[in-house]
Structures are given as structure tokens and as C-alpha cells.
């Protein structure tokens, strides 16, 4: 990406009215995701895992590749990446949520993967450490994370600078409409018990890339070539336990943090009864999986 394209990305973030609040947003997200580590972990087999596997596969990882996986959580995409690049490769899995990182370390150890390091850091400030050959990665990967970065254009432009001159990039994002019914029922329940809570379920930045065409166009602005966007259909039967894990193990948890246990329980019951009333039997967790080659 040229310097002028980087400047344009920065200016576009600024036009969108964003300020340099990345560090405090990251710390707030760390608190939310750490609080929900147990429920997050239970979501891995049905939600985070399939997308992480699909992303690692679509990135066409090769033995020996060096991979930077940002917003890595417990390693849903970083662990399959480590398996794919093998002992001669290296994966840096970067996240701000300590408890998720620890889950990732345990999984890596259980699977005898010694080529992956889980590191606590803000993705927007990461610099490759000295064990990355040449100081630049072959691959950048980010599953369900890019929309949490307050300035995704600028953050992506910066992350691309950490890659070799010819490198691969991959990301997953929720497809437009995914999780909509559960999110709506949840915020309706919250509103009944805690009026004036902002309906912040869907990060506004997601709109930049929640359709295949928008995602392709967004990646192209960074000079990405060979862009491939696939839709991973993921329709998960809804049980009450799964419905509540989806709230507690994701950023949806945020509005519950200041509430006492009685109010949280009232929200839970209201949410579950709204889902029943509205005949929601399946959660649509469909996801876009995008990969591209970036040449600088
Ligand atoms: C929905 S989770 C996805 C985790 C993982 N990639 C997966 O698919 O299971 C989003 C993650 O982004 C992390 N995150 C948000 N902002 C971050 C930042 N600025 N730097 C590093 N991690 C961040 C959160 O802590 C959380 O673990």
C-alpha cells in the first residue's frame, strides 16, 4: 500500500468522526471478554471454531509461514494456522483479553503446538518481535475482530505494513443479518429492565464489510488482489443455554456488567421468553470469509 493510500485511509477514518480512542476501547473490550471467557469457550465448537478453521484453510497456509493473528481470542483461527504452518512456521496470536489468551495457551499445549505464542497486546499497536524472520509476516489473519477496532481503515493500513512485500490477508466478519433476531430480542429485554441502554450489539463499523461486495471493495482499497469472499452458512439450533452463552460470551455482555444479579436474571428470563414468543429456533451465525494477496 502506498503512502498516499495510507493517508487516505486515515483521512477516511477521521471523516467518519473517529478520534484516537483505540486504547480505551481495547481495554473496555478486554474487561467484557475476560468476564465471559467461560461462555466464550463454550461457543467455540459451534461459532468461533468453524469460521477459524475456514479462514485458516482459505488462507492456503504453507509450512514455514509466519502468521500474525490479531484479535485472536482463544485461538479459533490461530490454532488451525499453527497446525498448518508446522514446526518451521510461527504464529503470533495477539489479543487484549488475558483469560482468552490463557485458554488458547492451554489448547496449544494440549495439541503439542510449540510454534504459537499468545501475547497480550493491542492489535493497533503491535510491532513484530525479533523472532519474526526479517521482521515481517507472511500472513495477517483476523477472525471476528476487525469490526472491534475503532478505526478499521487506519488499523488495517498499519497492520499491512507489518507484512512482507507479497503477503496474504484473511478475515471473517458476520454476514449482514447474522445474529439479528437474538440481538434484537436481547436489547428489547435489556430495554425493559434498564431503560436508556444504547443498542450497541452491532458495531457500526461492521457495515463497511458485511456483504460480499462491500467486503471485496473494502479490501481492494488497500491494493488487495485475488480477493476471494466465501459465505460460510452456519445455522445453529437454539437452546436456552446456547442463547444465553451467546450473550455472556460476546460483546453483548457489556450492558450487563454494571447490573446486579437480580436484574441480570430478569433480563435473561425476558430475553428467553421473547425468543420463544418470536419462534426463534435457530441462530443464523452466517459469516463471510475473505482472503486476498497484498503486494506493496
Ligand atoms: C469475537 S472475539 C473473536 C476472537 C477470535 N478471533 C475467535 O474468532 O474466536 C473478538 C476479540 O477481539 C479482541 N479485541 C478487540 N479489540 C482488540 C484490540 N484492539 N487488540 C487486540 N484484541 C482486540 C477481543 O478481546 C476479543 O477476544
Q: Which residues of 86-110 are buried (b: 16+ CB within 10 A; e: fewer)?
A: eeebbbbbbbbbebbbebbbebbee
The confidence band for 23, taking pLDDT boundaries of 50, 70 and 90, is: confident
CB atoms under 10 Å from CB of 116, counted, come to 26
Domain hosting 46: range is 3-175+204-235+285-295
Please check whether residue 230 lies inside any domain of the structure: yes
CATH number assigned to the domain comprising residue 168: 3.40.50.150
pLDDT tens-digit series, residues 120-138: 999 999 999 999 999 999 9
Q: In Å, how far from its chain's centre is CA 195?
A: 29
Longest dimension (CA), the chain: 58
Q: Does 96 contact ligand 1 (Cβ within 6 A)? A: yes
pLDDT at residue 20 is higher than 90: no
The confidence band for 208, taking pLDDT boundaries of 50, 70 and 90, is: confident
Q: Which atom of ligand 1 is nearest to the CA of 123?
A: 20
Cα-to-centroid distance, 19 and ligand 1 (Å): 20
Cα-to-centroid distance, 101 and ligand 1 (Å): 10
Q: Which helix (H) or strand (E) holds 10?
A: helix 3-15
| Residue identifier of the C-alpha nearest atom 12 of ligand 1 | 71
CB atoms under 10 Å from CB of 158, counted, come to 19
Q: How far apart are CA 246 and CA 207, in angstroms?
A: 21
Please check whether residue 116 lies inside any domain of the structure: yes
Please check whether residue 279 lies inside any domain of the structure: no
- Confidence at residue 41, expressed as pLDDT on a 0 to 100 scale: 98
- Quote the number of domains for the chain: 1
Instruction: Detail the DSSP E strand segments found in 79-194.
Output: 90-95, 116-120, 137-143, 163-174
Please check whether residue 151 lies inside any domain of the structure: yes
Per the CB < 8 A criterion, the answer to whether 29 and 115 are in contact is no
Handedness of CA 15, 219, 148, 244 (dihedral sign): positive
Please check whether residue 136 lies inside any domain of the structure: yes
Which is higher by pLDDT, 279 or 20?
Answer: 279
Arithmetic mean of pLDDT, 52-73:
98
Give the mutation target among 79, 81, 145 for probing the ligand 1 site: most ligand atoms within 8 A of CB: 145
Arithmetic mean of pLDDT, 164-172:
98
Please check whether residue 244 lies inside any domain of the structure: no
Which is higher by pLDDT, 234 or 13?
Answer: 234
pLDDT tens-digit series, residues 279-296: 999 999 999 999 999 998
Cα-to-centroid distance, 225 and ligand 1 (Å): 26
- Confidence at residue 17, expressed as pLDDT on a 0 to 100 scale: 39
| Residue identifier of the C-alpha nearest atom 16 of ligand 1 | 26
- Confidence at residue 27, expressed as pLDDT on a 0 to 100 scale: 93
Q: Per the structure block, which three cell numbers stand in for 110?
A: 494440549
Please check whether residue 190 lies inside any domain of the structure: no
- Confidence at residue 6, expressed as pLDDT on a 0 to 100 scale: 37
Amino acid at each position: 500500500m502506498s503512502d498516499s493510500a495510507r493517508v487516505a485511509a486515515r483521512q477516511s477514518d477521521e471523516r467518519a468522526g473517529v478520534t484516537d480512542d483505540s486504547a480505551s476501547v481495547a481495554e473496555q473490550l478486554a474487561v467484557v471478554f475476560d468476564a465471559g471467557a467461560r461462555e466464550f469457550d463454550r461457543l467455540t465448537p459451534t461459532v468461533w471454531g468453524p469460521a477459524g478453521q475456514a479462514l485458516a484453510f482459505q488462507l492456503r497456509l504453507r509450512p514455514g509461514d509466519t502468521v500474525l493473528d490479531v484479535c485472536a481470542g482463544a485461538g479459533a483461527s490461530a490454532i488451525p494456522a499453527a497446525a498448518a504452518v508446522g514446526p518451521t512456521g510461527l504464529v503470533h496470536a495477539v489479543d487484549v483479553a488475558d483469560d482468552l489468551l490463557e485458554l488458547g495457551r492451554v489448547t496449544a499445549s494440549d495439541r503439542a503446538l510449540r510454534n504459537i505464542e499468545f501475547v497480550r497486546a493491542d492489535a493497533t499497536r503491535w510491532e513484530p518481535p525479533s523472532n519474526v524472520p526479517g521482521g515481517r509476516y507472511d500472513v495477517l489473519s483476523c477472525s471476528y475482530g476487525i469490526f472491534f477496532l475503532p478505526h478499521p481503515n487506519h488499523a488495517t493500513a498499519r497492520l499491512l505494513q507489518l507484512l512482507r512485500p507479497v503477503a496474504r490477508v484473511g478475515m471473517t466478519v458476520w454476514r449482514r443479518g447474522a445474529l439479528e433476531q437474538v440481538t434484537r430480542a436481547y436489547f428489547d429485554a435489556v430495554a425493559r429492565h434498564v431503560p436508556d441502554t444504547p443498542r450497541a450489539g452491532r458495531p457500526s463499523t461492521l457495515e463497511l464489510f458485511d456483504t460480499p461486495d462491500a467486503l471485496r471493495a473494502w479490501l481492494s482499497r488497500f491494493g488487495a488482489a485475488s480477493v476471494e469472499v466465501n459465505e460460510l452458512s452456519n445455522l445453529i439450533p437454539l437452546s436456552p443455554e446456547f442463547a444465553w452463552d451467546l450473550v455472556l460470551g460476546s460483546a453483548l455482555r457489556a450492558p450487563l456488567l454494571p447490573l446486579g444479579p437480580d436484574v441480570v436474571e430478569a433480563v435473561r428470563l425476558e430475553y428467553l421468553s421473547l425468543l420463544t414468543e418470536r419462534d426463534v429456533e435457530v441462530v443464523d451465525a452466517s459469516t463471510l470469509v475473505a482472503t486476498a494477496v497484498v503486494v506493496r
